[in-house]
């Protein structure tokens, strides 16, 4: 990848995830239920520094249609696309995936939401990462490809998430 291309790669991945989540929540009827948050969630972060709480703009993805409101009000959605997420870091406690999951947990808690980290490593399928409660609520606990119980982390291939996750009402 050329220098500086990571930002474009991340934005492209966020747009792809928005489309997929929109089709999922709308049963294939709409592509525009979710879209990228202003400044990739930065608007909410800046507002928090001023003592304001912009939960609807938190995370990388926001709801822009009532169809996705119940889901977006419950889940803090963060997207990451990296060359190497270091899945082996689940054993050592180090690496990008562990770091991103820790950040998602802290930020989701700050907005009284459950974390949903959608992560993609080069040459691999995207994965949905959910805490134990989130996996239970979406009825995905038996779909996890990997589970790190000490981190409350359930990793599910995104295509499985989109096929089997219960839609909040």
Q: pLDDT tens, 72-120?
A: 999 999 999 999 999 999 988 899 999 999 999 999 999 999 999 999 9
**Would you say residue 95 lies in a domain?**
yes
**Would you say residue 101 lies in a domain?**
yes
**Would you say residue 169 lies in a domain?**
no
Q: Do residues 101 and 90 touch, judged by C-beta distance below 8 A?
A: no
**Would you say residue 45 lies in a domain?**
yes
Return the pLDDT at 45: 47
| Residue position matching structure tokens 């689940």 | 90
Return the pLDDT at 44: 43
Return the pLDDT at 168: 84
Both structure tokens of 155 = 């990793």
**Would you say residue 37 lies in a domain?**
yes
Residues in the chain, pLDDT under 70? 1-9, 38-58
**Would you say residue 135 lies in a domain?**
yes
> Which domain, by its residues, includes 82?
5-164
What's the total number of domains in the chain?
Answer: 1
* C-alpha–C-alpha distance, residues 151 and 95, integer Å: 14
């Amino acid at each position: 990848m050329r220098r500086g291309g990571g930002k474009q790669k991340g934005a492209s991945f966020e747009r792809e995830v928005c489309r997929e989540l929109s089709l999922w929540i709308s049963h294939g009827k709409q592509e525009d239920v979710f879209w990228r948050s202003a400044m990739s969630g930065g608007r909410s972060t800046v507002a928090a520094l001023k003592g304001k709480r912009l939960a609807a703009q938190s995370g990388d993805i926001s709801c822009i249609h009532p169809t996705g409101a119940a889901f977006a009000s419950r889940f803090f959605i963060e997207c990451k696309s990296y060359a190497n997420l270091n899945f082996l870091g689940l054993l050592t406690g180090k690496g990008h995936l562990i770091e991103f999951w820790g950040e998602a947990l802290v930020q989701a808690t700050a907005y009284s939401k459950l974390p949903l980290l959608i992560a993609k490593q080069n040459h691999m399928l995207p994965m949905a990462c959910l805490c134990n409660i989130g996996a239970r609520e979406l009825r995905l606990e038996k779909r996890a490809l990997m589970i790190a119980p000490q981190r409350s982390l359930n990793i599910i291939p995104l295509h499985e998430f989109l096929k089997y996750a219960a839609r909040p009402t």
